[in-house]
Amino acid sequence: MSEKRTDVNELGEFGLIDHITRGNKQHQKSTLRGIGDDAAVVGQGGQYAVISTDMLVEGIHFDMMYTPLKHLGYKAVVVNLSDIYAMNVAPTQVTVSIAISNRYSVEALEELYAGVKKACDFYNVDLIGGDTTSSPKGMIISVTAIGLTDSLDKVVYRSGAKVGDIVCVSGDLGAAYVGLQLLEREKQLYLNDNTITPDFSSYQYVIERQLKPEAAKAAYDYFKRSDLVPSSMMDISDGLSSDMMHICKASGVGAYLEEGKIPLHPESKELALEFNMDPVTCALSGGEDYELLFTVAPEDLDKIRFMPGAYIIGEIVERKDGLKLHTTGGNIHELKAQGWNHF
């Protein structure tokens, strides 16, 4: 007699989340939005919190060969703050939990926390707790971020995109992925010959986008200043294709993107080509850009036309029209969510 055993890779990340959370019941009236967005929304009576959690695992999400601990601490916080901004709320508190093997010294953890504190200072959030435990191998960092708000009116979900809305991103895409390719290449070269010292000086932008990303606080500030509420929003952590698909699914719409309008940094373009990769593919299927992907109603066009750093990349269409890329060569491509398999 054998029990059925299904490999988690058969479902993929999103399929797995759907599977294990199927039939999840909410018991509390104060749970206003549960699973399925960048952050959950809870609260009542004019006080609300958006809450998001993310975990970084050594060997999966970061490699100690090229990740300075201070940057790692910074990034672990920032990627969570990014999910709060993606709800159009400013983050206010974080908790940080770590599991560490005995390979890490007190000094190493001081470095990690110097990064955590730096991110807290920069984004004006408070570290309010966490948990510390041991791990048999490597390091795991889990961060929970909270953003308080007294109104639900400006909270933005993935599900609000409407046909005719304009699709925008808050900055260039693909650089973090290209940066990762560069770090991996240099790591291999170093492993083959450890007399080589990698020189990254001419590729600072992509390296920084990978190792020390920032959350799109400037975009949040601009929305607030210009009294603009996007109709839908999420942060780009898995690549434009996959994340656009999430907005389309949640909103019950399709989208039409213009390849030529997808913003790419010159350094990403140059380096992608050096790696024989298409820079646009890096933007579509790479990840970890932590820019905001958002839609706005057509009447708000003027407000985003002058938004610093933002780019208009397409339009929301009917669901039956699917998710399409209009290429610079004039062809229409169906975009597939690549997602990834980290398992």
Give the footprint of Mg ion on this chain (CB under 5 A): 38, 83, 235
| Number of residues in contact with ligand ADP under rule CB under 6 A | 9
Position 35 contacts ligand ADP (CB under 6 A): yes
The CA distance from 311 to 294, in Å, is 10
Task: Show the site string, 214-233: x = touches ligand ADP by CB under 6 A, - = not.
Answer: --------------------
Residue 38 CB, nearest approach to ligand ADP (Å): 4
60 vs 11, 107, 184, 186, 343, CA distance in Å?
18, 23, 13, 18, 9
The CA distance from 119 to 160, in Å, is 30
The CA distance from 145 to 39, in Å, is 9
Q: Which one of residues 237, 241, 251, 338 is an interface residue with ligand ADP (CB under 6 A)?
A: 237
Binding residues for ligand ADP restricted to 53-72, rule: CB under 6 A: 54
Residue 343 CB, nearest approach to ligand ADP (Å): 13
Instruction: Give 305 or 342: the residue with its C-beta nearer to ligand ADP.
Output: 342
Distance of CA 143 to the CA centre of its chain: 14
| Contact present, 27 and 309 (Cβ < 8 Å) | no
Phi, psi (5° rounding) for residue 55?
A: -125, 140
323 vs 225, 261, 312, 317, CA distance in Å?
32, 16, 16, 9
The CA distance from 310 to 316, in Å, is 17
Which stretch of DSSP H or E encloses residue 67? none
Q: Which one of ligand ADP, Mg ion, none interacts with residue 322, CB within 5 to 8 A by kind?
A: none
Residue 231 CB, nearest approach to ligand ADP (Å): 18
The CA distance from 342 to 190, in Å, is 25
Position 289 contacts ligand ADP (CB under 6 A): no
Position 258 contacts ligand ADP (CB under 6 A): no
The CA distance from 316 to 256, in Å, is 6
Q: Which one of ligand ADP, Mg ion, none interacts with residue 26, CB within 5 to 8 A by kind?
A: none
Q: Which one of residues 41, 69, 72, 83 is an interface residue with ligand ADP (CB under 6 A)?
A: 83
Instruction: Give 234 or 283: the residue with its C-beta nearer to ligand ADP.
Output: 234
SS3 (DSSP) at 231? coil
Position 36 contacts ligand ADP (CB under 6 A): yes
Q: Which one of residues 9, 10, 15, 17 is an interface residue with ligand ADP (CB under 6 A)?
A: 17
Q: Which one of ligand ADP, Mg ion, none interacts with residue 37, CB within 5 to 8 A by kind?
A: ligand ADP
Residue 20 CB, nearest approach to ligand ADP (Å): 6
Instruction: Give 17 or 114: the residue with its C-beta nearer to ligand ADP.
Output: 17
